[in-house]
Amino acid sequence: MFDNLSDRLGNVFDRLRGRGALSETDVREAMREVRVALLEADVALPVARRFIDAVTEKAVGQDVLRSVTPGQQVVKIVHDELVEMLGGGEGAQAEDLNLAAKPPVVIMMVGLQGSGKTTTTAKLAKYIREKHGRKALMASLDVARPAAQEQLAVLGTQVDVATLPIVKGQQPVDIARRALESARLQAMDVLLLDTAGRLHVDQALMDEMKAVAGVSAPTEVLLVVDSLTGQDAVNVAQSFSGEVPLTGVVLTRMDGDARGGAALSMRHVTGKPIKFAGTGEKLDALEAFHPGRVADRILG
Ligand code: GDP
């Protein structure tokens, strides 16, 4: 995770730390290198720019440059800004699911085809049972992709979580209604709706998402995006967040993401926290996203 970015930043900061005194020019020079490293990591341009401005403003202050360990201080400022960029608030902790609403709490999963949405739905159902001790029902509303509903049923068996019986020919909104009814009857705590994806964002998809949200009143709407797609992931997030009321983001394939651009841009683009990271194909490869820990990892 973030290996390339981590190496690049590591080099810049090793040099800064290695010097006894720092001038404003040294800081600005280092920040130019950081900017390039961020852009090469596929961080969205406005996000990189804002980051550099914030760090520079704090780092060229006299109390930093005149301190005994100016390099160290600059690295600390970078760390704190990274946490901020990753969405860290109080204590830079992970933001968990909001399960406080009246049950069944509806969690709607949205995203493009291939983003890892169905896998993540099953991972979350397992997480909800193991970490929260809550009973979940999963339902696939994906009538577009052949065998999508069966795929969720198979995953449900693997994680030992119930799935809504498949009724062929039913439309997404009707499946959502039936799922809600079924979750109520079975006194489920949580209902996870795995919505249909598309290869690209289109209006029909957005209309479907809005209609499903309309009948299911989700407490959480989680956007699942593939971190490996970098700038594309950012564009997808922008499109979705303009149309459906997202409450959070799940970044998948973080296990293979050496660059980190999507992770670093997501908060700025959506205004919503990254709640989880998918870190593998296995159904327990889901981690709560801790901005503080991720920043530590990036800075080595
Ligand atoms: P969907 O079309 O969005 O529902 O995508 P799927 O859930 O079917 O996932 C597509 C592929 O990505 C599957 O082979 C998953 O095993 C894989 N996948 C999903 N999440 C992750 C992840 O976090 N890491 C890795 N390495 N693979 C993942």
pLDDT digits over 63-85, tens only? 888 888 899 999 999 999 999 99
Instruction: Say which amino acid occupies 184.
Output: R
Q: Which amino acid is at 53?
A: D
52 C-alpha to center of ligand 1: Å?
Answer: 34
Atom of ligand 1 lying closest to residue 119 CA = 7
How many Å is the Cα radius of gyration of the chain? 21
pLDDT tens per residue, range 85-108: 998 765 567 788 999 999 999 999
Q: Does ligand 1 have an atom closer than 6 angstroms to the CB of 252?
A: yes
Say if CB 166 and CB 153 are below 8 A apart.
yes
Tell whether residue 197 is among the known ligand binding residues: yes
Which of 89, 92, 77, 61 shows the shortest CA–CA distance to 9? 77
Atom 15 of ligand 1, residue of closest alpha carbon: 281
Residue with tokens 């990271």: 277
pLDDT tens digits, 235-248: 999 999 988 999 99
Any ligand 1 atom below 6 A from CB of 278: yes
Cβ neighbours of 154 (radius 10 Å): 12
Q: Scanning the structure block, which residue is given the tokens 């909001």?
A: 98
Q: How far apart are the C-alpha atoms of 79 and 98, rounded to whole Å?
A: 28
Binning pLDDT at 50, 70 and 90, where does residue 162 land?
very high
Asked if 290 contacts 82 with a C-beta cutoff of 8 angstroms, the reply is no
Distance between CA atoms of 131 and 139, rounded to whole angstroms? 21
Query: Which pair of structure tokens corresponds to residue 99?
Result: 């399960």
CA of 266 to the centre of ligand 1 (A): 19
- The residue whose CA has the least distance to atom 27 of ligand 1 is 281
Please check whether residue 5 is in contact with residue 259, taking contact to mean a CB–CB distance below 8 angstroms.
Answer: yes
What's the confidence (pLDDT) of residue 123? 98
Predicted confidence (pLDDT) per residue in 25-51, tens digit: 999 999 999 999 999 999 999 999 999
> What is the structure's pLDDT at 91?
56
pLDDT for 89: 65
SS3 248: strand
53 is in an annotated binding site: no
Mean pLDDT in residue range 111-130: 97
Q: How far is the CA of 114 from the centre of ligand 1 (A)?
A: 6
Sheet holding 105-111, edge to edge: 162-163, 136-140, 190-194, 105-111, 220-226, 248-252, 274-278, 286-288
Whether 194 has a binding-site annotation, put simply, is: yes
Return the percentage of the chain with pLDDT > 90, whole number: 79
Q: Is the pTM of this model over 0.80?
A: yes
> For residue 237, what are the CA distances in angstroms to 52, 197, 222, 225?
23, 14, 11, 8
Report CA-CA distances (Å) from 182 to 13, 82, 137, 150, 270: 56, 43, 9, 18, 32
